[in-house]
Amino acid sequence: MKKRALLSVSDKRGIVDFGKALVELGFEIISSSGTAKVLKENGVPVVEVSQITGFPEIMGGRVKTLHPKIHGALLAVRDNPDYMKQIQELGIQPIDIVAINLYPFEETVKKGAGLDEIIENIDIGGPAMVRASAKNHKFVTIIVDPDDYDFVLSELRENGETTLETRRKLALKAFRHTAFYDSVISAVLNEKFGINEKFPDELSIPVRKRSTLRYGENPHQEGAVYTSPVEYRGLSVAQSDVLHGKEMSYNNFLDVEAAVNLIKEFDETACVIVKHNNPCGVAVREKQVDAYREALSRDPKSAFGGIVAFNRSVDMETAQALTEIFLEVVIAPDFDEEAFKFLTEKKKNLRLVKIKNFSKEPAGLDYRRISGGLLIQDRDLRLYKEWKVVTDREPSPEEVKDLLFAWKVVKHVKSNSVVIAKNNATVGIGPGQTSRVDSLETAVKKAKEFGLSTEGAVLASEAFFPFRDSVDEAAKHGITAIIQPGGSIRDPEVIEAANEHKIAMVFTGMRHFKH
């Protein structure tokens, strides 16, 4: 029997050349109406699906390939005599090669189409043919990606057929393709229907590989970065544009995520410097360059080789300051033309990253992998539930500003954590200790190391104080106001300690653990 190929594609890229090459190799081409039209216009002989089925396309093309003469041709097991006898009796001729890509559902959503148009772009016949072909990969070659045409043709020219290994690889790719396609549909319709079921019993998360990384967290680990097609409207680090510099590493992406999440807390002109996923310097100032220099002065040792984030387009004066030390990445919503030119000329390897949709909140949920599954939660986007002064002394207006600043920062420091701040800049940051009082001692040590005074500063703790020891320790170093969630069984004891030291204390009613 003559070899046959079924071509039915929405993405017409490369299909004409592929069709011509198959004809030269002796294949008969079967095609649905849209693809058949393109092939005929370019001189490729085609048999339309309706000629095979003896049935016209109906319902505006909703039904065209869902027919036994198509699916029998795809699913026939060639080494099963009963199957082959059946299709011979029914006049069904097997199909050997299938090239299909699906209706552009994702693109239709992104262009802002209405619900009716979105639903019309849910492919039915395409996934059915893809899955049938992939199931019968022992005999059928299924291609869902135009980039695979040339490879398949090279094998056909060399061997007269594709190898079983190739058909298996293409079948796996096909099943991933239809699974991804359906997961995008379910995610979009969940929102469009207004159901917004956050934690369904069964969950598919669509992600698409953007690039392979040089390695993962360590050189002996492999890594890659994937993007979410259904979170395109929100802030996205994964889809950010690396405008200049070396390739981003796995750790760079993690640090950029940490820096962007923190810088997003500030409406004022701010700078955040991150090292190993924790902020080491944060400042708010009227001028961008001043914010950078203040943030840098908080811990210049840790800032070396760090990640710097801004919430304004980087200007020339700031760009000049950035070249004074070694940095890994500079992140911003944009770069002024003069500043960008200067940085690219002065720092060949410095990564300059423009964050996509910087002004918007990140979409979706937080996912954390554990052995055998996932932990899923809401993103921590709220700041506090209440602002309740619980001590005899009220914080002054200046202390209120610094408390709010410190609270924004401590939310993004690994637990257990404390942040000491004064005049809209960090003074000392104590991250990730197993004891909260140890975190405070670390923050004080950092402040002293770089000649920063804690006198008259404020302190933020991302979770409640289990004992009064941290308040007593804070008082020794001149801390005048504290912000914390509250909620400990020893809150009265902690408040009493603050009153003894004439420290103002604010409860927020909202904890910000960060593990």
Quick one: which of 126, 18, 25 has its CA closest to 74? Answer: 126
Token pair of 199, please? 């934690």
State the amino acid at position 241 in one-letter form: D
Peptide bond preceding 416: is omega within 30 degrees of 0, i.e. cis? Answer: yes
Which is catalytic among the residues 20, 69, 135, 173?
135
Pairing outcome for strands 388-389 and 504-507: antiparallel
Q: What own/partner pairs with CB < 8 Å and gap ≥ 24 does 389-394 have? A: 389/504, 389/505, 389/506, 390/486, 390/491, 390/495, 390/498, 390/505, 390/506, 390/507, 391/495, 391/498, 391/499, 391/503, 391/504, 391/505, 392/499, 393/499, 393/502, 393/503, 393/504, 394/504
Active site residue 64: no
Q: What are phi and psi of 305, to 5 degrees?
A: 75, 20
Q: State the Cα torsion 388-393-399-400 to the nearest 10°.
A: 20
Distance CA 337, CA 474 (A): 46
Active site residue 177: no
Q: What is the largest CA-CA distance in the chain?
A: 96
Which is catalytic among the residues 169, 276, 401, 448?
276
User: Which residues form the catalytic set?
Assistant: 135, 276
